[in-house]
Structure 1
């Protein structure tokens, strides 16, 4: 498990004191005005890249989940053991046969527009929104056939078969509850509330200045006693990692997560008494760097080519050169951070360029006069400098086996359209979230029925295997933990044999906060948490 790295402040520096009082910035620093011009309880954090929506019910891209989770809540929260704890539901009971789950809802909760939150909202959200439009909801909620509402504070999920993963998928950033009265009777995909959410969370949407910042105000009617502790939350859009590091140094940011700065600068923040650096907070959202192959490509359709690519990657060296040590090599699609599911009993692909070359020779791909066999395009989103370094690293690794790699960097909308809409790519690399349960996060990348043109972050490879589908479908409904583990062991073995996706590494993302910020990683969802308890000290 990742070791927590958190340095308590040894002394409050002058800069930190100025940050706490809000008096340390000149008027020209921030596009929305200096922190000194904001209410005293204003905290500035950042997100990157800029989200293309505000509601994670329809889009589970990482920056969307970060902002959505502050305004929209789920039925449950989770502790660091990834055990459910109350949120909009205060109690729950799973039937012995696993075919129903009864939730008791929190009394007195209101939406940001003043309307009461009731079981009708839960029913509508689950059946009309998440089951239909959520990228992971199609599989996570597949067994939910109905949500009964015997009274305003009781919601009963009826299931066609047990769904053991469901209880791990009800956090606000993953499965946000939406107001029925706002969405019913509208084109839900075009509803204005998708970009100006009406939620129950501790913060209320105010403004979104695209390319600059998002502002949320404290919810004066929030159900959490004494929360929120901030008056205002400002989420800045700072696309350059070095600029984010400079903004933290200057006090223009109090908080930044998801690996916000160049990895070669992390150690100095660890060593500084002005900051806290935390590696917890990804247990609910393990983000994995994996290369997804487009098996529609005539070269990549051959298993020997995909195997050769695995053998060609010098991942031990990559940890130092690309990640500066802040990563762990993946030997399967499920990381070691999920010990109840992970196995190393799978085909292994240690760095072996000679083996890679032999496979390509066997496949009939001869080198030309320039030593190249064929070319491939790798597209990655512009989400920092790590993928730029990795692209250059892979380009050299693949050149050594005669594959000319063309690197394409795309903004998020272009990336989603190219990869998931048009399937216009050969290889793609992006941080795929696998969450705390493989049925929720991993299944969508290998399950043939998850493929849906235009739906982001699902199976885009064209991979379809009857055995894989059967294993994943059985694991999704198996109530016995040991039997379910064995199914996921088989899943990993098939995945590492067929190789539609090439596991690379699990980045160790850090969250950095000023020394006077507390509760910035309150649980296993890290910066995706609602942040009602986020506060300044001193």
Structure 2
């Protein structure tokens, strides 16, 4: 912990091994949501701009940019002499093709790019984005998720969902794809012709270890360098102020929550969602479920946006008695064991501990929640594509701008799994980005929180955070107190090096 690490001369060479919780489904970085592919894509591809760990916007393929006076046009000046991994020159045409395709093909970030009217390319090194209206969140969205610039010459005229490059990606990033063995690892190698600073490492290996305890043991044994999960809170004191390790606590605008099928099933009734919300003991989830990492959820929007928090619409404390009354109002009668209803939750791995706590809480309220754990690809098919579920559990980033919540609650949001639809929410989400003045925006997002508290499209359990911990020989990681923290996106290892 402590002050930002001072600059030292990096050393070249070495392999960094990073834990990964499951198999990536595709290395197409923009077509869909795939958190297992994101760490790989963050090193194979570049975006127009990037967002640091502290949510600052920094240059990437665009080295500088200018806004028009009315806020409806942005001119980006691109880095020169950038090449794709196959040697083809990168140009502004790749940027235009990427954004046009995300919008046309309903890529994962399409809703976030709704304000874009057109993308112009005056020359190979200039991109002009004209907006339908001023959008205070647009720069954050261009730096965030599902917006990596893709190679036009590889994808144009093909189905971007089935293009062979989806499993053999070609980017402009600091590392090149080498191979992927399902259930084992993804390997990237140094891009010797990288246009930016670095990379210093020879190789990145993303080792697939689904089980948290197995991964933690592998990290303790020195078999991996960085974990994809987190150190249990009970072990934090082993590493804080330990001279062999560097630590930093990071709290993210990333939240874990339950969401529901709004069209059919028991939780289509808002009273059942309210009962679900009241049944949860978030203190217990924090202590036993996430083991002291992060924070318990108290608001209906990320607490990092302090200027917009609605103190009159906070998440209620556990109230089993009131929860049971609401279930009875829905017409259910308790059996001899006090159970009113049995429902199923479809999840993929990663939520086990928190879900077991929530399951016990819900049983007290007479809701017997049966856990159906699926492989991620099967979960995508059942929940995201077919919408064949009662309830599911997710975690995800709800930034970088406060308007990032639209991805999950707007009627056309890419992660609105249950088809929640509130015309007023849609209207407010649009109003919320028209001004950059926080005094103007705050009342809008406070009203959004009030509506969420009544409709409950999401029932939040906790804020996600980790005690980032790494051995001292691993230098300049973006999650630590380092120079890289202010220069590259989280998970980009272009500036990282190993001191042997």
* TM-score normalised by structure 2 residue count: 0.91
Matched residue, 1:100: 73
2: distance between equivalents of 1:467 and 1:117? 42
Aligned length: 490
Q: Are 1:268 and 2:238 an aligned pair?
A: yes
1:210 to partner: Cα distance: 1.5
Deviations 1:101-152 (A, max 9, x none): 10000111111111111111111111113563421x2221112121111111
Are 1:173 and 1:528, in contact at CA under 8 Å, matched by a contact in 2? no
Matched residue, 1:448: 411
Q: Are 1:306 and 2:273 an aligned pair?
A: yes
Aligned residue among 456, 467, 472 for 2:424:
467
2: distance between equivalents of 1:80 and 1:270? 20
Q: Are 1:75 and 2:48 an aligned pair?
A: yes
Matched residue, 2:135: 163
Q: Are 1:326 and 2:293 an aligned pair?
A: yes
Are 1:99 and 1:158, in contact at CA under 8 Å, matched by a contact in 2? yes
1:332 to partner: Cα distance: 2.7
1:173 to partner: Cα distance: 5.3
Q: Are 1:418 and 2:382 an aligned pair?
A: yes
Q: Are 1:47 and 2:20 an aligned pair?
A: yes
Aligned residue among 454, 470, 475 for 1:513:
470
Matched residue, 2:494: 532
In the superposition, relative to structure 1, how do residues 138 and 174 fare at CA in structure 2: closer, same or farther (>3 Å)?
closer
Q: Which moved more, 1:416-425 or 1:118-127?
A: 416-425
Q: Are 1:428 and 2:392 an aligned pair?
A: yes
Are 1:49 and 1:239, in contact at CA under 8 Å, matched by a contact in 2? yes
Matched residue, 1:27: none
Question: What secondary structure does 1:419 align onto?
Answer: helix
Q: Are 1:145 and 2:109 an aligned pair?
A: no
1:389 to partner: Cα distance: 2.2
1:347 to partner: Cα distance: 4.8
1:515 to partner: Cα distance: 1.7
In the superposition, relative to structure 1, how do residues 305 and 5 fare at CA in structure 2: closer, same or farther (>3 Å)?
farther
Deviations 1:401-429 (A, max 9, x none): 21111111111111111111121221111
In the superposition, relative to structure 1, how do residues 298 and 379 fare at CA in structure 2: closer, same or farther (>3 Å)?
closer
Matched residue, 1:336: 303
| Pairing of 1:9-20 with structure 2 (within 5 A) | none
Are 1:73 and 1:530, in contact at CA under 8 Å, matched by a contact in 2? no
1: distance between equivalents of 2:234 and 2:211? 14
Are 1:74 and 1:173, in contact at CA under 8 Å, matched by a contact in 2? no
2: distance between equivalents of 1:147 and 1:107? 19
Are 1:57 and 1:176, in contact at CA under 8 Å, matched by a contact in 2? yes
1: distance between equivalents of 2:212 and 2:2? 20
Matched residue, 2:8: none
Q: Are 1:279 and 2:236 an aligned pair?
A: no
Question: What secondary structure does 1:510 align onto?
Answer: strand
Deviations 1:369-392 (A, max 9, x none): 332211111122112xxx222222
Are 1:201 and 1:530, in contact at CA under 8 Å, matched by a contact in 2? no
Are 2:300 and 2:313, in contact at CA under 8 Å, matched by a contact in 1? no
Q: Are 1:354 and 2:321 an aligned pair?
A: yes
Q: Are 1:191 and 2:163 an aligned pair?
A: yes
CA RMSD of aligned residues (A): 2.5
**Structure 1 runs not aligned, ≥5 long:** 9-20, 22-38, 451-456
Aligned residue among 183, 203, 211 for 1:240:
211
Are 1:78 and 1:523, in contact at CA under 8 Å, matched by a contact in 2? no
2: distance between equivalents of 1:139 and 1:154? 24
In the superposition, relative to structure 1, how do residues 190 and 54 fare at CA in structure 2: closer, same or farther (>3 Å)?
same
1: distance between equivalents of 2:131 and 2:123? 19
Question: What secondary structure does 2:268 align onto?
Answer: coil
2: distance between equivalents of 1:302 and 1:524? 46
1:192 to partner: Cα distance: 1.6
Matched residue, 2:445: 488
Question: What secondary structure does 2:347 align onto?
Answer: strand
Question: What secondary structure does 1:508 align onto?
Answer: strand
2: distance between equivalents of 1:490 and 1:144? 26
Question: What secondary structure does 2:142 align onto?
Answer: coil
Are 1:215 and 1:232, in contact at CA under 8 Å, matched by a contact in 2? yes
Q: Are 1:207 and 2:179 an aligned pair?
A: yes
1: distance between equivalents of 2:23 and 2:249? 23
Deviations 1:48-96 (A, max 9, x none): 1222222321233322211100010011123455332211111101112
Aligned residue among 392, 397, 412 for 2:361:
397
Deviations 1:325-379 (A, max 9, x none): 2231222332112324433331541111112122223333221233221111112
Matched residue, 2:189: 217
* TM-score normalised by structure 1 residue count: 0.85
